[in-house]
Amino acid sequence: MTTTEPPSGRSIPPDYWDRVSNRYDRQLWLESRSVRCLLELASPTAGTRMLDLATGTGAVLRALVVRSSRPHHVVGVDRSQAMLGHVPPLPDGWTTMCADARDLPFADASFDLVTASYLLHLLGDADRVAVLEEARRVLRPHGLIAVLTPAIPPGGPLRPLARALDQLAARAPEWFGGLRALDPAQPLSAAGFELLATRHTARGYIATCTLARRATGAPDPGDAAAGTPAGARRRAD
Ligand SMILES: C[S@@+](CC[C@H](N)C(=O)[O-])C[C@H]1O[C@@H](n2cnc3c(N)ncnc32)[C@H](O)[C@@H]1O
């Protein structure tokens, strides 16, 4: 499946998610299939230390809680306290936290799995790089990242619909929740991840689930800019 690359810089203002938080859950049914696909691809187990970036009202956490094998340690972070206010009660050992995914309050190598459901396509190029650098920093070597992004199929009956929705979302981002298609392969590779698998879903939102692994041995993406690992550079900011 090919996807279009959105223009750099998105037009969803940061307070948008606060404003829509009361009604956000009305569209969760459109996400449910793709979120399940994301979790099937990532396959977290009881021992997986998991971080869900931009957890919002907890779409990933809700789908995770009903899985037969679920991690004991899960953290969901989001920049919008209002969105977090709609996360349902969580099992012991699971927490949510108001934090910016571009500057995470966690030590290096704290997690085995990072998920990001419907986040990367919202970000401008620089913010996407910052988020993926942070995801890489907080993942242990060979840790996994699983991301969910809107997609446009390369052919088939859904392609015209997906293209039309993408164009509408480009013209009126706030009406369509910034739902622009994004192929995350290149940003993930550039941030030091090896692509492992891709799945496409078209029930509900037309989306791509991508699984990648934190590469070791590759130069740290922060090295070229600052001469230090990305985590060290960020801590020094
Ligand atoms: C489309 S919602 C996705 C929520 C949830 N992951 C889901 O699948 O339903 C996008 C979320 O990203 C959050 N967000 C956007 N930029 C962020 C950032 N830099 N750090 C943390 N959260 C961010 C917003 O507050 C919002 O809750």
Average pLDDT value over all residues in the chain: 87
**231 C-alpha to center of ligand 1: Å?**
22
CA distance readout (Å), 142 to 101, 152, 211, 234: 20, 30, 12, 21
Please give the Cα distance from 138 to 235 (Å, whole number). 12
For residues 119-136, give the mean pLDDT.
96
- Percent of residues, the chain, with pLDDT higher than 90: 70
Please give the Cα distance from 60 to 16 (Å, whole number). 20
Structural domains of the chain, with CATH: 16-236 (3.40.50.150)
Ligand 1 neighbourhood includes 100 CB (under 6 angstroms): yes
pLDDT at 219: 52
Ligand 1 neighbourhood includes 34 CB (under 6 angstroms): no
Is pLDDT above 80 for 234? Answer: no
Ligand 1 neighbourhood includes 55 CB (under 6 angstroms): yes
pLDDT at 153: 86
**227 C-alpha to center of ligand 1: Å?**
31
Q: Which has the minimum average pLDDT: 15-19, 92-96, 157-161?
A: 157-161
Which residues are bridge partners to 96 per DSSP?
76
Ligand 1 neighbourhood includes 213 CB (under 6 angstroms): no
**160 C-alpha to center of ligand 1: Å?**
27
Handedness of CA 91, 97, 100, 104 (dihedral sign): negative
Please write the tens of the pLDDT for every residue from 129-140: 999 999 999 999
pLDDT at 10: 53
Which of 26, 38, 78 should be mutated for ligand 1, with most atoms under 8 A from CB? 78
Ligand 1 neighbourhood includes 102 CB (under 6 angstroms): yes
pLDDT at 218: 54
Contact between 158 and 206 under an 8 Å Cβ cutoff? The reply is: yes
Which of 119, 132, 176 should be mutated for ligand 1, with most atoms under 8 A from CB? 119
Contact between 149 and 207 under an 8 Å Cβ cutoff? The reply is: yes
pTM score, two decimals? 0.87
Please write the tens of the pLDDT for every residue from 4-27: 334 434 578 889 999 999 999 999
For residues 103-110, give the mean pLDDT.
98
For residues 162-187, give the mean pLDDT.
85
